[in-house]
């Protein structure tokens, strides 16, 4: 009878080990999947953010090139007007007046263009930050949900 009880105890111990092993495997599988899902969300948000930043950089470079071209064209116009105005004092005074007005207008236009471009860039930064915050928040929520599930899984033991 003692051998029978030992046999039963061994069988029950084996079954218990199988069940515990099954629970541990199930827990680690669920945890692994949850972490992978959270990682996918974070990677997606990061990729979207990077894509947005690359598009922003390309647009910024394009605008800066256009502003540089405009300023170089304005500089060439100023030099030409200055050279033309050297012929006579009257022409020089008139040319300086024209050039001064064009420079003021050019600088005002340049200031307005730069201000508009910077405001647009600030707005784009804000939107991209919000998009990244949403993606990161989703990944964080998934991570926190997974962490909250750990005590529930072990509580079933």
Predicted local confidence at residue 74, as pLDDT: 87
Confidence (pTM): 0.35
> How many residues can be counted in the chain?
157
**Average pLDDT, rounded, for the chain:** 81
pLDDT of 141 above 80: no
Give yes or no for residue 58 having a pLDDT over 90.
yes
pLDDT tier, 92 (very low <50, low <70, confident <90, very high otherwise):
low
- pLDDT at residue 102, as a whole number: 77
| 148 or 9, which is more confident | 9
Confidence band of 87 (pLDDT split at 50, 70, 90): low
85 pLDDT higher than 80: no
**Lowest mean pLDDT: which of 71-75, 81-85, 109-113?**
81-85
Average pLDDT over residues 93-104: 73
Domain ranges of the chain: 48-124
Contact 110, 70 (CB under 8 A): yes
d(CA 55, CA 53): 5
3-state secondary structure of 88: coil
Burial 100-138 (b: 16+ CB within 10 A, else e): eeebeebeeeeeeeeeebeeeeeebeeebeeebeebeee
Mean pLDDT of 27-44: 88
């Amino acid at each position: 009878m003692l051998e029978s009880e030992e046999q039963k105890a061994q069988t029950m111990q084996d079954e218990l080990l199988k069940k515990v092993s099954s629970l541990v495997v199930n827990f680690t599988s669920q945890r692994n999947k949850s972490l992978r899902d959270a990682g996918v969300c974070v990677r997606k948000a990061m990729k979207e953010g990077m894509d947005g930043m690359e598009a922003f950089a390309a647009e910024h470079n394009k605008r800066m090139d256009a502003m540089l071209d405009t300023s170089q064209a304005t500089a060439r116009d100023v030099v030409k007007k200055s050279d033309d105005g050297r012929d006579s004092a009257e022409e020089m005074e008139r040319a300086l007046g024209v050039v001064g007005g064009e420079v003021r207008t050019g600088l005002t236009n340049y200031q307005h263009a730069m201000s508009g471009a910077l405001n647009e860039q600030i707005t784009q930064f804000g939107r991209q930050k919000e998009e990244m915050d949403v993606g990161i928040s989703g990944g964080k929520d998934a991570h926190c949900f997974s962490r909250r599930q750990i005590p529930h899984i072990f509580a079933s033991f």
